[in-house]
């Protein structure tokens, strides 16, 4: 991925903060488009969806899990847009990033069920590449949702700007510390996922200059229990650490672990959002998180699939520009574009 073009989001991110005229009208949404799929030619656009599908296409969705509010929010965006566009949808979840065989089996279920399009939040690109190639060869539209598919030929993809999110959160911590020196341990997420490595690359690069030393990188399953073990071990192994950076499960785990260890000198920041991160930022227990608009990614991925199925012109590569959400600016963000409504439960079928 060309890192130079991934830094273009700052200028357009503010456009994505405007509140829609009504809940169902979420557009236009400011986003970066790689023209013709060329990452060396990226433009900022205001994305607007199509009005209605030409017929009730059958969409099949594969998500890594629905264990946290991030993927629940993606689910909400997928379901609401399927309803708006008048298409059918079936949603599968694999149960976690350790369950690649489940996702591969579910991909087969999508094909066997006659899906016109498969929207996939891939557990890992290497793991699902052969299945995507099979589906593409059969004429099935394939859309990458949130998690990156970078090398495997695919109809279209919408993902966060992972590198820029790692870079921006690193820069924000450095600015927050000011003249103080920091020592950080990073918890980017599951190795092999693609997105965790790219988050890490951005964060690592942000620390090449400045006032923070990177002590260690701890990869692991994107769940609070798994991250808690890593955080607790790191607090013992690196007693000098003063910064914890990582995904939302790591940040959530770190709040409890640092409190139990009596370490109120540790700054915690998250590379992405969930409902818990929002609550912890409001309480001042987490410095901030880099938003990547899960609801909008779900909505746009459905629109990309419908456009492709209807033979309409569609974007090939879309990158969501991050915005750093902190206690100081939280009121500036349209949270309906980020989180599912309170009380929303995952939906697995749209008829």
Q: Which CATH number is 87's domain given?
A: 3.40.50.2300
pLDDT (mean) for 169-174: 97
| Total domains in the fold of the chain | 2
Residue located via tokens 């009504």: 22
Confidence tier at 162 by pLDDT (50, 70, 90): very high
Residues 130 and 85 in one domain: yes
Residue 240 lies in a domain: yes
How far is Cα 189 from Cα 246, in angstroms, rounded to an integer?
7
DSSP 8-state class, residue 321: P
Residue 130 lies in a domain: yes
Residues 180 and 259 in one domain: yes
How far is Cα 223 from Cα 96, in angstroms, rounded to an integer?
8
The answer to whether the predicted template modeling score (pTM) of the entire model surpasses 0.75 is yes
Structure tokens at 326: 């902190």
Q: 224-237 vs 248-260: helix axis angle to the nearest 10?
A: 50
State yes or no: pLDDT of 119 exceeds 90. yes
State yes or no: pLDDT of 13 exceeds 50. no
Residue 344 lies in a domain: no
Residue 332 lies in a domain: no
pLDDT (mean) for 104-132: 98
Residue 60 lies in a domain: yes
State yes or no: pLDDT of 197 exceeds 70. yes
Residue 210 sits at φ, ψ, to 5 deg, of 120, -155
Confidence tier at 322 by pLDDT (50, 70, 90): confident
Residues 6+ apart with CB under 8 A from 275: 69, 339
Q: What is the pLDDT of residue 4?
A: 33
How far is Cα 269 from Cα 211, in angstroms, rounded to an integer?
16
Residue 337 lies in a domain: no
Residues 63 and 193 in one domain: no
How far is Cα 291 from Cα 41, in angstroms, rounded to an integer?
24
H-only helix segments in the chain: 9-13, 69-85, 100-112, 125-137, 162-177, 195-206, 224-237, 248-260, 275-283, 294-309
DSSP string of 257-294?
HHHHTT-TT-EEEESS--HHHHHHHHHTSS-EEEE--H
Report strand pairing: 88-93 vs 349-350.
antiparallel
Residue 336 lies in a domain: no
State yes or no: pLDDT of 1 exceeds 80. no
Residue 349 lies in a domain: no
Residues 22 and 42 in one domain: yes
State yes or no: pLDDT of 19 exceeds 80. no
Residues 129 and 235 in one domain: no
User: For residues 112-138, b (16+ Cβ closer than 10 Å) or e, as one string?
Assistant: eeebbbbbbbbbbbeebbebbeebbee
Determine contact, residues 291/325, Cβ cutoff 8 Å: yes
Residues 176 and 279 in one domain: yes
What's the order of all strands across the beta sheet hosting 156-160?
42-47, 29-34, 317-320, 156-160, 141-145, 117-120, 58-63, 88-93, 349-350
H-only helix segments in 42-190: 69-85, 100-112, 125-137, 162-177
Q: What is the pLDDT of residue 291?
A: 94
Domain that holds residue 91: 4-161+292-322
Structure tokens at 306: 């419908």
Residues 119 and 75 in one domain: yes
Q: How far is CA 52 from CA 86, 197, 339, in A?
A: 7, 37, 24
């Amino acid at each position: 991925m060309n890192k130079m073009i991934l830094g273009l989001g700052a200028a357009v991110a503010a456009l994505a903060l405007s509140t829609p005229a009504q809940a169902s009208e979420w557009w236009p949404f400011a986003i970066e488009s790689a023209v013709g799929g060329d990452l060396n030619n990226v433009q900022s656009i205001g994305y607007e969806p199509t009005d209605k599908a030409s017929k009730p296409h059958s969409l099949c969705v594969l998500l890594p899990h629905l264990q946290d509010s991030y993927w629940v929010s993606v689910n909400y965006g997928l379901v609401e847009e399927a309803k708006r566009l008048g298409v059918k949808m079936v949603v599968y979840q694999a149960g976690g990033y350790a369950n690649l065989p489940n996702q591969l089996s579910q991909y087969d279920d999508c094909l066997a069920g006659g899906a016109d399009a498969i929207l996939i939040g891939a557990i890992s690109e290497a793991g699902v590449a052969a299945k995507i190639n099979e589906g593409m060869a059969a004429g099935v539209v394939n859309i990458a949702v949130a998690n990156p598919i970078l090398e495997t030929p695919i109809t279209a993809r919408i993902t966060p700007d992972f590198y820029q999110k790692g870079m921006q959160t690193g820069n924000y911590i450095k600015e927050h510390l000011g003249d103080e020196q920091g020592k950080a341990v990073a918890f980017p997420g599951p190795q092999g996922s693609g997105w965790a490595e790219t988050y890490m690359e951005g964060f690592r690069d942000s620390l090449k200059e400045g006032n923070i030393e990177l002590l260690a990188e701890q990869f692991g399953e994107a769940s609070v229990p798994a991250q808690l073990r890593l955080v607790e071990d790191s607090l013992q192994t690196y007693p000098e650490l003063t910064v914890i950076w990582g995904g939302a499960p790591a940040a959530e785990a770190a709040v409890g672990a640092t409190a139990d260890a009596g370490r109120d000198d540790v700054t915690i920041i998250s590379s992405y959002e969930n409902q818990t991160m929002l609550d912890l930022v409001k309480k001042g227990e987490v410095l901030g998180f880099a938003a990547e608009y899960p609801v909008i990614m779900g909505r746009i991925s459905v629109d990309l699939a419908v456009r492709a199925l209807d033979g309409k012109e569609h974007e090939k590569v879309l990158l969501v520009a991050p915005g750093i959400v902190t206690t100081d600016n939280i009121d500036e963000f349209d949270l309906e574009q980020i989180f599912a409504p309170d009380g929303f439960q995952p939906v697995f079928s749209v008829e």
